[in-house]
C-alpha cells in the first residue's frame, strides 16, 4: 500500500473510526446474544425501550453539534482561543439541555404506565444521556484526531461488556442492564474531556451570550434534521413497544441490530471524509468512495437477505425467527440508506447545499410521523419497516434533487 496514502489524514481517521465502529459492532454482538437468551424476549424488550428513549434524548443534548461544531472546529483548528470559545459555548448549552432532557424523562415516566412500571430502570439508564452529553466527538472530528475517540470507546465498551457477563445472570437482572450502559457512557465522557484538555489544551469557561447564541443558530438546522432522523429511526423501537408491547419491541430490535451491523461501517467513512471535503472540495475522492461503499453495501445486503433465518438463529438463538423475516425488509432499506447518507454528508454539506441534506430528513420525518398518527392502531412490525423504506425514499429523492442543482450550478461556474 502506498505509504503516502497510509499517512493521509483521511485514511488515519477512517482507520480510527472504523476501529471504533468495529468495537461498537463486535462487543454488542458479544453481549446481545447473551442478553437475548438470558433475559428472554419481553425483558430484553424493556431494555430496548430504555435505550430507545435515551437515544431520542441524545438528539436533544447533541442539538446538531456533531455537524455544525465539526465544521466550525475544522475551519479554526489552528486558533486555540477560537476553539476554546466554541467548545465552552457548546458545553454550556449542553448542560442546560441535559437538565431539560431529565425533565422530559420524568414527564414520560409519570404519564406513560408502561414506562412507570420500570421507572427505576429508566432513571438508571439516564446516565447514558449524561455521558453522551459530555463526550465531544465533534471536537475530535474537527481536529481530525479520531484515534482519541476510538481509545475512549474501546475502554468504555470493554468495561460495559465485562460488567454484563459478571452481573447479568438471570432474567430478573434486566433492571441492571441500563445502569451498566450508563457506566460505560459516563466513563467515555470523562475520558474524552481529559483527552481534550491534555491533547489540545481545551479549557471550559463562561463565554459571552453572543457566542452561545451563535453556536445555537449554527446548529439549529442540524438539530431539526437530526431530530427528524431520530423520529423515524431511533424512535421506532419505542413506538413498537408502546403500541405492540415489549415482546415485539424485542423482536423488532433484534432485526434492527443486524441492520445496524450491516451499515455501521459507512458512518465512519462519511464522517472521516466530511472535514476533508469541507476544506478541499475533493469530488474525485468522493466519487471513488461513494462507488465502493454502495457496491459493498449491495453485496452485503444481498447475502444477509438470502441467509437471514440462519443468521438470526445462529446469533440470537430460538424465539427470534420472526426477526429473520423482518430482516429481509431491512435489507431493502439499507440499499437506500447508504447512498442517501453519502449524498447528504459529506457531499451536499461540504458544498454549502446543507438545506437539501437537512430539510430532506425534516420533510420525510414529518411525513413519517403524520402517517404514524393516522395508522398507529393498525401497526405491525412489518408495516413500520415499510414506512421506513418509504421515508428513506423521500430523503433520497430530495437529496438527489439537491445534487442536480449543485451540478447545474457547478457547470455554470466552470463554463463562465
| Gap between the Cα atoms of 158 and 177, Å rounded | 15
pLDDT band at residue 373, thresholds of 50, 70 and 90? Answer: confident
Question: Tell me: the pLDDT tens digits for 236-293?
Answer: 877 888 888 878 888 898 898 889 888 877 877 787 787 778 777 888 888 888 999 9
pLDDT band at residue 309, thresholds of 50, 70 and 90? Answer: very high
Most confident stretch, 119-123, 351-355, 370-374: 119-123
Phi, psi of 205 (to 5 degrees): -145, 170
State the pLDDT at residue 327: 95
| Gap between the Cα atoms of 112 and 171, Å rounded | 24
| Gap between the Cα atoms of 53 and 109, Å rounded | 11
User: Looking at residues 11-18, what average pLDDT do you find?
Assistant: 62
Q: Are 128 and 160 within 8 A, CB to CB?
A: no
Mean pLDDT estimate for the chain: 85
More confident residue, 327 or 220: 327
Q: Judge whether residue 5 has pLDDT over 60.
A: no
- 0.75 exceeded by the pTM? no
* Lowest mean pLDDT segment, chosen from 48-52, 124-128, 328-332, 397-401: 48-52
pLDDT band at residue 350, thresholds of 50, 70 and 90? Answer: confident
pLDDT band at residue 12, thresholds of 50, 70 and 90? Answer: low
User: Looking at residues 378-403, what average pLDDT do you find?
Assistant: 92
Q: Are 249 and 237 within 8 A, CB to CB?
A: yes
336-360: burial string, b at 16+ Cβ within 10 Å, e else: bbbbbbbbbbbbbbbbebbebbbbb
Question: Tell me: the pLDDT tens digits for 63-97?
Answer: 888 878 887 887 887 788 888 898 999 999 999 99
Residue 220 exposure: Cα atoms within 13 Å on the Cβ side: 5
Cα–Cα distances in Å, from 379 out to 52, 153, 317?
18, 36, 26
Interacting residues of 234 by C-beta distance below 8 A, sequence separation 6+: 52, 55, 56, 58, 59
DSSP 63: T
Q: Are 20 and 146 within 8 A, CB to CB?
A: yes
Question: Tell me: the pLDDT tens digits for 157-183?
Answer: 888 888 999 999 988 899 999 999 899
144-158: burial string, b at 16+ Cβ within 10 Å, e else: bbbbbbbbbbbebbe
Please give the grid coordinates belonging to residue 38. 438470558
Helix axes 9-62, 266-280, angle to 10 degrees: 100
Amino acid at each position: 500500500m502506498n505509504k503516502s496514502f497510509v499517512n493521509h489524514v483521511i485514511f488515519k481517521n477512517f482507520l480510527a473510526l472504523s476501529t471504533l465502529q468495529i468495537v461498537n459492532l463486535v462487543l454488542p454482538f458479544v453481549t446481545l446474544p447473551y442478553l437475548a437468551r438470558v433475559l428472554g424476549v419481553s425483558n430484553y424488550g424493556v431494555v430496548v425501550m430504555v435505550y430507545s428513549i435515551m437515544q431520542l434524548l441524545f438528539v436533544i443534548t447533541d442539538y446538531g453539534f456533531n455537524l455544525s461544531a465539526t465544521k466550525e472546529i475544522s475551519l479554526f483548528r489552528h486558533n486555540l482561543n477560537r476553539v476554546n470559545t466554541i467548545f465552552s459555548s457548546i458545553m454550556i448549552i449542553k448542560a442546560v439541555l441535559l437538565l431539560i432532557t431529565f425533565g422530559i424523562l420524568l414527564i414520560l415516566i409519570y404519564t406513560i404506565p408502561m414506562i412507570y412500571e420500570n421507572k427505576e430502570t429508566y432513571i438508571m439508564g439516564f446516565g447514558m444521556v449524561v455521558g453522551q452529553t459530555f463526550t465531544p466527538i465533534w471536537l475530535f472530528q474537527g481536529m481530525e484526531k479520531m484515534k482519541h475517540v476510538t481509545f475512549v470507546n474501546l475502554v468504555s465498551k470493554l468495561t460495559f461488556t465485562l460488567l454484563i457477563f459478571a452481573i447479568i445472570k438471570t432474567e430478573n437482572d434486566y433492571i441492571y442492564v441500563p445502569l451498566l450502559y450508563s457506566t460505560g457512557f459516563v466513563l467515555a465522557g470523562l475520558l474524552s474531556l481529559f483527552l481534550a484538555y491534555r491533547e489540545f489544551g481545551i479549557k471550559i469557561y463562561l463565554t459571552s451570550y453572543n457566542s452561545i447564541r451563535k453556536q445555537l443558530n449554527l446548529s439549529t438546522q442540524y438539530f431539526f434534521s437530526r431530530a427528524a432522523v431520530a423520529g423515524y429511526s431511533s424512535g421506532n423501537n419505542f413506538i413498537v413497544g408502546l403500541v405492540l408491547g415489549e415482546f415485539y419491541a424485542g423482536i423488532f430490535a433484534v432485526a434492527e441490530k443486524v441492520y445496524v451491523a450491516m451499515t455501521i461501517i459507512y458512518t465512519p467513512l462519511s464522517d472521516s471524509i466530511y472535514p476533508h471535503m469541507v476544506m478541499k472540495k475533493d469530488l474525485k475522492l468522493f466519487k471513488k468512495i461513494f462507488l465502493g461503499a454502495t457496491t459493498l453495501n449491495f453485496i452485503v445486503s444481498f447475502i444477509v437477505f438470502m441467509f437471514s433465518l440462519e443468521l438470526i438463529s445462529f446469533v440470537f438463538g430460538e424465539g427470534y425467527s420472526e426477526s429473520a423475516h423482518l430482516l429481509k425488509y431491512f435489507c431493502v432499506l439499507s440499499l437506500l440508506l447508504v447512498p442517501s447518507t453519502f449524498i447528504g454528508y459529506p457531499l451536499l454539506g461540504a458544498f454549502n447545499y446543507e438545506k437539501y441534506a437537512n430539510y430532506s430528513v425534516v420533510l420525510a420525518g414529518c411525513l413519517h410521523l403524520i402517517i404514524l398518527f393516522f395508522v398507529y392502531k393498525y401497526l405491525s412490525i412489518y408495516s413500520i419497516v415499510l414506512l421506513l423504506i418509504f421515508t428513506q425514499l423521500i430523503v433520497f429523492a430530495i437529496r438527489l434533487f439537491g445534487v442536480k442543482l449543485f451540478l447545474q450550478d457547478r457547470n455554470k461556474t466552470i463554463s463562465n
